[in-house]
Amino acid sequence: MVSNTPELIRDQLKAWLAQKRSHSLNRLDPSVSRGLSRDEQFRKLEHVLAEALRRHIPMGHWSDAALGDE
């Protein structure tokens, strides 16, 4: 569902809540969460942040902590 109309969003949330309470809400296919475990997300975020640091901070200005050398 995609909408920016508050009433439509409210109605859809109410419908999903009713389905959940009646145990008729279908489970998502396991493939939906592939690559989204906490560890996988952390590794991706760590890589993005490391790349941002490499691109925007000259190596001479990195602290030992930023390099993981505490």
Amino acid in the structure at residue 33: S
Q: How confident is the model at residue 53, as a pLDDT?
A: 87
Query: Which two three-digit tokens encode residue 21?
Result: 């309470």
Q: What pLDDT score does 67 carry?
A: 52
Q: Which of 7-16, 40-49, 55-64 has the lowest mean pLDDT?
A: 55-64
Task: Kindly report the average pLDDT of the chain as a whole number.
Answer: 85
Cα gap 47→22, rounded to integer Å: 42
- How far apart are alpha carbons 15 and 52 in whole angstroms? 42
